[in-house]
Amino acid sequence: MTESKKTLKITSKEVKDFFGSLRQFFVQYYKDFFNGVKTLDKGDLSIKLISVLCISVAFAFFCYLREGTGDLYMRVFIPAFFANAFVVLFGCVNKSSRFYSILTVFLVTTGFALQIFMIDVTDTKHDPVEKVEEYITFIFVGLLLSMLVMPVLAFVTAENTDTKILRYLIIGGTVLLYLILLVFGKEVNGAKAWIEVGFSIQITEITKVLAGIYFVLCLTDKNLSEKDKGLRTLIVLFIHAAFLALVNEFGTLIMIGFVYLMLKILFTKNKKLILKELLCLVVIFAVLLGVCYGFYKTAPETTVENKPTATEKVTEEVDAEEATEAEESSSQDADGSKDKKEPLTPQKLVDEALERVRTIYPKIEKRFNIFLGNGELTKDDTYQTDSVKMALHYAEWLGTEKGWFGFVPEINCDFVFVYLVARLGIVGAIMVLVVLVLLFAETFIFAARSKKPRESALAICFICFIVVQSLLCMCCNLALFPVVGLPFAFLSDGGSALCVNLMMSFFIIYFMRKECALPIESEATENV
């Protein structure tokens, strides 16, 4: 009997069982982990550690040759080495049978190098060491979070876990996070994807992962009928689409949409149903876009602050730090307390939401116009693409010497690939591209031989978030795709994305443990 025919009500026994088994999983996971440490294959670990050392030293030497100084890089690569060593250790403890961990190390190290190179580009007023320490902190926080989240992911992907409560929790959590974002979110470059809690957290990175987990749970649940799976995933996709359009985070929406399609194609047996769902999806999106267009044409414009143009923004960035300091000091009143912000009222929130809905269509239209070169485009409109094109011309086969690329906006984040090409050269870019393809292929190959379909599905979902997102980021950089603000996994600046990417990589390493792989013979027999 499928779940749809059962009651939707969750009993207290089910909840109790759910949390009981989650607790057991936690205990069991760490027990297994420490057992793994005791029974480590020292030969395997040594080889991998030497590889990590070689990669780190090679990069340090490369940086020395490029920049002419070594001390900063050595100071960076020692913690980088330990962080990477931990990734490799995790792979060995889980008896991960593949080279995934080494490839991840390569990406993390490249990210380190680029962020260090970029100090002169983006943070001229910051102490380089401070910037590097910040990056290292992100890495270690990412490692710690990954270790904490791993048991949960192991529990989620266990074949005998009841997914009903999990699915409700995920939907509830997702909506809650989006609501928090809409009310308390911080807007950066037009996208309201961050909240400030002493430090910035990119909420959409978390909701992206939650969306992936939900799709996996739904599509691999044997208790759900094919139609139910289709309906539920579609609803969740629309929840994400609606909120992400409201916060103007189209990059994340594209990635969630891509993962949805990928998992649908791979895990739905009835291919005709996929076609029907896709058709339905296209029609609904077209209708929604039409509604946005209608709203844009008919709704009156509400009062919005004048936003600076791209060129103004670049000029402003130079003085951003001084301005912030001045603002902070000026906002102190006679009592020394800071000025209070305007209170958030429901009316204000509704007005803001309506204004956001009104601007969805023109924003999409503008991105496409810039991409296609249609319509009347100002210099500000094409500033991003023009400056990226110009920065590419600095590239050599083996990279360039220290150069100023501050004229490219968001070069440390959305346009980091251009910086990679310019500084590490075409050869460096090709190496990163090869690593991404190997990561992708390796995950798929292992998934095909895995005993655990749910783990495979989540691993495929995560590898898409890492690799396909990076490839799309490259496409945006090279004007092969409209600029939608997608960061490059491990290379782009941003703590939230780095932590989430590390967590996803840890899961893939965990997924690739030897005990989960089918032996080649049995695989052959099964195929026959």
Partner 1 sequence: MFDVEFKKIGAAIVSMVVALSFVICSVCIYGTGLIPGVNPEADQARMDIAVAKRKANTVEGSFVDRFGNSITTATEKGEPAIANYPESFSPIIGYNSSRMGTDGLRNVLRSHLYDGGKDGVGATVQLTINASMQEKLYKLLDGHVGSISIINAETGEIVAMVSRGDPEIGYNINIIDDVYEKAENEDEEDKYYSDLYDTVPEFYYNRATLAQDPPGSTAKVMTATALVSNDREDLVYNDETGYYLNNTIHNFDYEIMGECDIKKGLNKSSNVYFANAGVELGGARLEKTYEKFMVGETIELDFDTLNSTFLAEDSTYSDFKIASNAYGQGDLVMAPLHVAMMMGSIMNKGEMMKPYLIEKITDDNKTVYKKDVETLSKVADKDTCKKVKDLLITNAEYYKLYDVFDKEDITIIAKTGTAELANTNLHHIYYAVGVELEGVPYGICIDRENVAGTSGELKSIAINVIDILMSETAE
Q: Describe the crossing of helices 71-93 and 128-157 by its angle, rounded to 10 degrees.
A: 10
Nearest distance from residue 53's CB to partner 1, in Å? 28
The three-point CA angle 361-364-367 to 5° equals: 145
Q: Which is nearer to partner 1, 88 or 464 (CB)?
A: 464
Sign of CA dihedral 211, 213, 216, 219: negative
Q: Which three-class secondary structure state does DSSP give residue 196?
A: strand
Nearest to 96 by CA among 505, 522, 523, 435: 505
Closer to partner 1 by CB, 366 or 449: give it. 449
Residue with Cβ nearer partner 1 (153 or 476): 476
Q: How many residues does the chain have?
A: 528
Nearer Cβ to partner 1 (53/475): 475
The Cα 473–Cα 417 span in angstroms is 8
Token pair belonging to 9:
């009500």
> Whose Cβ is closer to partner 1: residue 153's or residue 467's?
467
- How many whole angstroms separate alpha carbon 195 and alpha carbon 185? 5
Q: How far is the CB of 524 from partner 1 (least distance, A)?
A: 12
- DSSP for 102-158, written as a single string: HHHHHHHHHHHHHHHHTHHHH-TTS-HHHHHHHHHHHHHHHHHHHHHHHHHHHHHH-
* Furthest CA-CA distance within the chain: 83
Task: Report, in Å, the least distance between residue 372 CB and partner 1.
Answer: 16
Q: Strands of 200-202's sheet, edge to edge? A: 186-188, 191-196, 200-202
Cβ nearer to partner 1, comparing 350 with 437: 437
Nearer to partner 1, 245 or 464 (CB): 464
CB-nearer residue toward partner 1: 274 or 310: 274
CA dist 455 and 511 (Å) reads 6
Q: For partner 1, which is the closer residue by CB, 319 or 401?
A: 401
**Helices marked H in 3-41:** 12-38
Work out how close the CB of 62 gets to partner 1 at its nearest, in angstroms, rounded to a whole number. 20
Alpha-carbon gap, residue 248 to 353, rounded angstroms: 11
Taking the complex as a whole, the smallest distance from the CB of residue 397 to partner 1 amounts, in Å, to 6
Beta strands 186-188; 200-202: pairing state: unpaired
Instruction: Count other Cβ atoms within 10 Å, centred on residue 98.
Output: 20
Minimal distance, residue 430 CB to partner 1, in Å: 6
CB of 387 to partner 1, least distance (A): 12
Q: Which is nearer to partner 1, 292 or 370 (CB)?
A: 370
Nearer to partner 1 by Cβ, of 204 and 477: the residue is 477
Residue with tokens 């898409």: 464
For residue 464, the minimal CB distance to partner 1 (Å) is 9
Supply the minimum distance, in Å, between the C-beta of residue 471 and partner 1: 6
Cβ of residue 441: shortest distance to partner 1, in angstroms?
5
Q: Are 269 and 277 in contact (CB under 8 A)?
A: no
Report which of 442, 445, 495, 487 is spatially closest to residue 466, judged by C-alpha positions: 487
In the bound complex, what is the minimum distance in angstroms from residue 447's beta carbon to partner 1? 7
Measured between alpha carbons, how far is 33 from 45 in angstroms, rounded to an integer?
A: 15
User: Least Å distance between CB 271 and partner 1?
Assistant: 9
67 contact partners, CB below 8 Å, separation of at least 6: 73, 117, 402
| Residue whose structure tokens are 């290292």 | 136
Minimum CB separation from partner 1 for residue 64, in Å? 22
| Closer Cβ to partner 1, 456 or 496, answer by number | 456
Return residues touching partner 1 (CB under 8 A).
262, 265-266, 389-390, 392-397, 421, 426, 429-430, 433-434, 436-437, 440-441, 444, 447-453, 456, 467-468, 471, 474-475, 478, 480, 518, 526-527
Report how far apart, in Å, the C-alpha atoms of 48 and of each of 53, 62, 144, 245, 260 are: 9, 21, 21, 43, 35
